Each structure stands twice: as C-alpha cells, then as structure tokens.
Amino acid sequence: MSNVEPRIVFMGTPEFALPTLERLATHYPLVGVVTQPDRPAGRGRRLVASPVKEFALAEGIPVFQPERLRRLEAVEHMRAWAPDLIVVAAYGQILRPSILEIPRLGALNVHASLLPRWRGAAPVQAALLAGDTLTGVTIMKLDEGMDTGPIVAKREVPIMPEETAGELEARLAEIGAQLLLEVLPDYFAGLVQPRPQPQEGVTMAPRIPTEAAGIDWTCSAATLERHVRAFAPTPGAFTMWNGARLKVLQGEAVAYDGADTMPPGTVFSGDKFPAVVTGEGAFVLLQVQMAGKRPMSGDAFVRGRKDFLGAVLSSHRPGE
C-alpha cells in the first residue's frame, strides 16, 4: 500500500464503541463518523446524542446520522466520503451490500464475542446467561449476514466470577479497540488473510427485550445470579412486590435446605441480608432499587420495610 493515509469512516453508537473511536482518531485521520439519530431519553424525553456523536463533535469530525442507512441519500452520502475502510463497533443497523461495496478494503467490525459463538446484538448478555467462563473479541470483515463474515483476529479472555454485563462490556470494548489497532497496519499492507468462520459452534444472541429481565424465582439460585449479572446495570433484573417493580442489582446464590417449607419467591432473613427462596437454593439480595428510588443495600431496604420479610415475590416468566 502507498504511504497515503487510508480514508476511514467509523460507525458506532453506544459507550462500547467509544474506545475504538478514540484510538482510531488518535492514530488515523477519520473522514467521518456515522451514528444513530439522537433519541429521546430521561423523564423529560429530551433528545440525547449518542456518546459517539458527542466525541466526534468535540474532535471536529463530521457526523452523519441517517435514520435508515439503506436509503439512497444515505448511500450517496457515504459514497461522497469515499472511504478506503469502514470500521464498525455496535452501530445498531445492518450494513447492506450498497454500503459494503463502497470501501475498497471492506468493513471491519469489532464484535464482543468469540465468533461464531454469540452472533447478534447481545453477545455479552448471552454469554453471562449461558454461564460461559470464557469470552473475547473478534475483529471480523463484514458480509451480508448477521456476524457471519471472515475473521481477521480474535482475543480470548476469562469472564470474572462476579462480573456484570456492564463491567464485561467495558472491558471487552478496551480489548477490542487495542486488538483493532494492532491488526490494522498489517491489514492495510495486505498481510492479513481473513479466514472463514467455522461451521461448528454457531450460537445466536438476538436483542433481548426489557421484559426478559424479569426474575423467575422457580429457577435455581445459580441461574438467577447469572440473570442478575446479565442485566446489570441496565435494564436491571426485576421482580414485583406490592404492585411495584423492585430491581435486583446485585445478589448471590447460596445453599439453602428450607426450600421445601416455603414457595419460591418467599423472602426470609439471611445472615446479614434478606434472601429469597428459589427453585434450588436461595438468592441473597445484596443491592436492590424500588422504582423511582435510589439503589440501596438489601439490609438497609429491609430495615425500612419490615413487611418485606415473609413476602412472596412474583415470578416473571417469558411470554407472561
């Protein structure tokens, strides 16, 4: 490749995309950034820019926010930028052939799993829900499928025992950004040959609806511990008590031999924190949050709500 700097367009939206964008902007001139349109958020429902947009504007990088990237005017905008390479990290829309054919070096995606395991929009949550002990980041060359393109590089990391989705995603974002920067020089020089994904071991991780965060107390305590971690910090695993939503932000599975005497969902007094009977074992409530209130420790929550002990929390099952 010549000494001319490659023209790079970055596409991303949430916090996960920021480390990759920041490091790219430090090492390469960026032609532009594509991110999702501003969305209403908070109680006032005011329009809020994505973290990627805020960084790009602060750095003076042109920003493009198409509602639908497949529309002709969006494709023409991308063509006008004439990128040599597109880098994608959690953009939020599928890139169609009309976009993928624009850059001569294709499009590279920073994906938070070890492909082909956990293709899709929620790989971190899926890995935690499944009880995986290992995960990682894959740099993949995009094709028309859902995370089916050939692999440029991979980096494997262990999942920490108490790691939440938010913590794991932040760690993988940094690892992915570093891995991309390591591989780009050889990729630009034509020294990297993307290899097809194996046909074995394919699993899917589609976007998870908020209601899926509901807790089913008939599950085992170990399963619920993974469930809580997978939905922390957002949207937050939840149960219902006194007609209101109670988020469970942190908890711990413990052995419990009194389950035969109380139905799943029953709250009882543990050693220091309240605990809930489950289908197998008990689940200690370390941190909870009532709707509209601040998070608090389980023991502090019980001190202010004596009627919580002995209550039976409702189970939420998929489809209900």
- pLDDT tens for 110-127 read 999 999 999 999 999 999
Peptide bond into 150 cis (omega under 30): no
Please give the average per-residue pLDDT across 71-90, as a whole number: 97
| Beta pairing partners, 176 | none
Residues ≥6 apart with Cβ < 8 Å to 43? none
pLDDT in tens, 215-255: 999 999 999 999 999 999 999 999 999 989 999 999 999 99
Torsion of CA 280, 264, 297, 238, to 10 degrees: 100
Position 1 scores a pLDDT of: 43
**What integer pLDDT is reported at residue 259 of this predicted model?**
60
- What are the Cα distances from residue 30, in Å, to 8, 76, 164, 236, 251? 5, 18, 33, 36, 43
Nearest Cα residue to 203 out of 95, 111, 127: 127
68 vs 260, higher pLDDT = 68
The whole-angstrom distance between residue 319's C-alpha and the CA centroid of its chain comes to: 23
| Residue-level pLDDT at 291 | 86
Which pLDDT does position 249 carry in this prediction? 96
What's the pLDDT score for residue 320?
54
